[in-house]
Structure 1
Amino acid sequence: MIGAVVTYTLPGPMPRAELLERFGKTVDVYRSAPGLLRKTYCYDETTGQGTSFYQFDSLASAQALLNPDFQKGFAERMGATPEIYFTDTLMVVDNTIDSVSTYEQD
């Protein structure tokens, strides 16, 4: 499993409600993205700093979605250039289903 962390800083703080509305418009894209297992949207309204956490079934799936076109589109829509970091996911603790999972390297 591969994790991806995407960080960005908006040109100025955006109200949480406005950002949540914008993010809501992207849900269908992520629900149908091949190999994407989950995505978490995070935002600090006081600093304009955003972070998204993704989990993918493979590095190929992660790179296919978070490609240069994604980065360009994000920058155009949000006015901020995203930084992307890929990492090997070793273990996930999921208290919502009382589960601990370990993963082999891709």
Structure 2
Amino acid sequence: MITTLTTFILPKPVTREEARSIFLSTAPKYRGVPGLLRKTYLLSEDGRTVGGVYFWNSRREAEAMYTDAWRAFVREKYDTDPTVAYFESPVVVDNVAQQILSDAAA
């Protein structure tokens, strides 16, 4: 399993309400994406940084998301370039599903 962290440093801060509106406008784009288990949108306290935490089945599926087209979409939507960091996620605790997931079980 892979977790990615995307961040975008904004040219000007946004409020929580502005961020929520922007996030809701882009959320449907991520429904049904192959390998994407969950996405959580992020907003820094000062409103200058936004991004997302994505939980993926595999790195291959994650890399399929972060294309030049995706980067262009981010650039147009947020007027900034994104950064993407990849992390191995060998164990995940899911308190909603009441499960502990391990990539060894895959």
Could you state the TM-score of these two structures normalised by the residue count of structure 1? Answer: 0.89
Deviations 1:41-80 (A, max 9, x none): 0101414112310011111111111122111210111012
Structure 1's consecutive aligned runs of 4 or more residues displaced over 4 angstroms after TM superposition are none
Whole-Å separation in 2 of the counterparts to 1:32 and 1:95? 22
TM-score, L = length of structure 2: 0.89
Alignment of 1:1-106 (within 5 A): 1-104=1-104
For structure 1, which runs of at least 5 residues remain unmatched after alignment? Answer: none
Q: Number of aligned pairs?
A: 105
Shift of 1:97: 2.4
Q: Give ranges in structure 2 of 5+ residues lacking alignment.
A: none
Is 1:37–1:55's contact at 8 Å kept on the other side of the alignment? yes
For residues 47 and 15 of structure 1, what CA distance do their matches in structure 2 show? 6
Between 1:53-62 and 1:91-100, the stretch displaced more is: 91-100
